[in-house]
Structure 1
């Protein structure tokens, strides 16, 4: 009689329940996943589903759902100029942060990926703002860019680069630019790490072969680094765009959407109607839910388009 293989012995039924070791391992995996699944359903799936329900009602969050509004909240949202102002600001903010972060982070990643002495120290320094709380960064930057006592105006005046203090956070155009700059500085380290991961995935043998063939640094970057980085670049672009469309904490701390509504983003707009009681004095959960759904669908569509770009670049370079 032939002897049993090790695989057959390990997967024989064991115990009174007749469960194999493989089945027991799977059972324990589900046991450990179950608490996380419950939290995900309660704090993610359920709120999203209820947002669609709330968007069909005129509801303040108090009492039962009684005043059915249908699609009226969406109609009011589309006709509201302040919403489109926040919508536009969100995309300006996202575009500005993407344009500032991605190319400069790539240049720094290339430098830190080379034979630079102390590059680990520099990587840590550039990544430090990422682990700093956004609220703390916003509070510090608010003081730095203050009109009368801010460090930026003080330095510019001392260097005679300006004749009078600039209201960085008191002027709409300046305030939005400052927010873009601070957010880009805050999250610069994340993009740098993304690019470093992509650069380190390129085999060094390719660069060595290019060097033997007489290629300089620029040609190696143009014909080797950039083409091989395209799949990673598409993913970084996708993540940067989605992240850039959400800037609630920094905006709330630094400008609170001001001056006026010059720096109000969609996240802050939703917050005002959901919790601050704009206009009527009571929260407007139904209207805020409609705004959240509309903006969420917009971000989802953008993610799908960029996801197709990622798939296309992976297929082209595969």
Structure 2
């Protein structure tokens, strides 16, 4: 009798979480799919069912390919470079150096700023002629007349990726640092006695024990890259041309600028499936590495 009452009580406590999940997860996705098969423009009271025409247009046009390409570049570069820089900082600040608490704080500060603040600051830093970089090069006597980081097709996307890494590397560093501080000193001493130098200790002792930290940082960086919107919107507005159009920015542009809400919903469904698939595969592979490590 008591176990039956306990089970009913457990189900009762699960109801709020279930309602939250249905309201803010299942219902929006269902509505998104409903809109994706219509010609809804975002404000009209009536709209027509058009089947999968929006999906066909996306796959036949260049918008989807360009957005996916930019998003994948953004994601891969930010994940790889961000984790390498974060690991390097963590290894450096885990050493016995004076003032390392201060350096840790300085490294983490960019994480505390909002994306809007960071985007505006770096827009001024990158500004041609009068920006910080241009002024610094002027002082050194280096010509910078054609230097336009955010206005060039070849540099705009990578300039934004650098800002993404700069903002989030503090979080990456802290997670790696927490992992490094759990590495037993006995193992490190045993490795040194066996003749392991700094690189071998990192490769065969520290990195295997950092498998969980690597998984967490990779997953967080992956999600941040795949849902990139803030910096392309704030710093370049998707330009020049479509060079910084990411998937999420393209959804925003279609829905609120071009007033093609149905088509934007279709792109949202495609993005949702792509992000879930990439994240799931990544987590699965990282978990396998954790087990083997």
Report if TM-score (shorter chain) is over 0.5: yes
- Aligned partner of 1:301 in structure 2 is 277
**Is it true that 1:178 corresponds to 2:178 in the alignment?**
no
- Aligned partner of 1:61 in structure 2 is 42
**Is it true that 1:160 corresponds to 2:144 in the alignment?**
no
Q: How many residues align?
A: 293
Q: What is the CA–CA distance in structure 2 between the aligned matches of 1:168 and 1:310, rounded to whole Å?
A: 35
Of residues 196-205 and 230-239 in structure 1, the stretch that sits farther from structure 2 once superposed is: 230-239
Aligned pair partner of 1:221 in 187, 195, 202: 202
**Is it true that 1:150 corresponds to 2:150 in the alignment?**
no
Unmatched runs of 5 consecutive residues or more in structure 2: none
Task: Say which SS state the counterpart of residue 97 (structure 2) adopts.
Answer: coil
User: Equivalences for 1:34-49 in 2 at 5 Å?
Assistant: 34=16, 37-49=18-30
Q: What is the CA–CA distance in structure 2 between the aligned matches of 1:219 and 1:87, rounded to whole Å?
A: 38
CA contact 2:74–2:161 (8 Å) conserved in 1 = yes
Task: Say which SS state the counterpart of residue 164 (structure 2) adopts.
Answer: helix
- Larger Rg computed on CA atoms: 1
User: Equivalences for 1:103-114 in 2 at 5 Å?
Assistant: 103-114=84-95
Report the CA distance between 1:163 and its aligned residue.
Answer: 4.6
Q: What is the CA–CA distance in structure 1 between the aligned matches of 2:269 and 2:46, rounded to whole Å?
A: 18
Q: What is the CA–CA distance in structure 2 between the aligned matches of 1:305 and 1:226, rounded to whole Å?
A: 21
Q: What is the CA–CA distance in structure 2 between the aligned matches of 1:149 and 1:71, rounded to whole Å?
A: 49
CA contact 2:77–2:161 (8 Å) conserved in 1 = yes
Q: What is the CA–CA distance in structure 2 between the aligned matches of 1:161 and 1:183, rounded to whole Å?
A: 27
**Is it true that 1:30 corresponds to 2:30 in the alignment?**
no
**Is it true that 1:289 corresponds to 2:236 in the alignment?**
no
Task: Say which SS state the counterpart of residue 173 (structure 1) adopts.
Answer: coil
Q: What is the CA–CA distance in structure 2 between the aligned matches of 1:314 and 1:25, rounded to whole Å?
A: 37
Task: Say which SS state the counterpart of residue 306 (structure 1) adopts.
Answer: helix
Higher RCO structure, 1 or 2 (CA under 8 Å, sep 6+): 2
Aligned pair partner of 1:89 in 70, 80, 102: 70
